[in-house]
Amino acid sequence: MYLSKIRVTLRKSILDPQGKAVEHAIGSLGLLGVGEVRMGKYIELKVDSRNETAARNTTEEVCKKLLANPVMEDYHFEIEKLP
């Protein structure tokens, strides 16, 4: 059993109004020096496969077909072996 930890982020060239809103809210809290807030998605899932390569391939497919919009988003993931 493997655990995939997936981060889906907006591409640099895409505006992020949600991030901007959070940035303003942080300013209103009085916290200084925080900027360039970018919001993304974080997904964890378990993959039951015989080896890490198979788990990696399955995760790759899930990301490509379902979790990330390839026009606007990038994804990165790590695979962890569960005991």
8 contacts a second copy (rule: CB under 8 A)? yes
41 contacts a second copy (rule: CB under 8 A)? yes
Cα–Cα nearest to 8, from 64, 56, 51, 48: 64
Place of tokens 């990038």: 74
Q: How many CB atoms lie within 10 A of CB 59?
A: 24
Cα separation, 57 vs 71, whole angstroms: 21
81 contacts a second copy (rule: CB under 8 A)? no
Instruction: Pick from 40, 56, 74, 79 the residue near a second copy by CB under 8 A.
Output: 40
38 contacts a second copy (rule: CB under 8 A)? yes
65 contacts a second copy (rule: CB under 8 A)? yes
Residue count at the site for a second copy (CB under 8 A)?
33
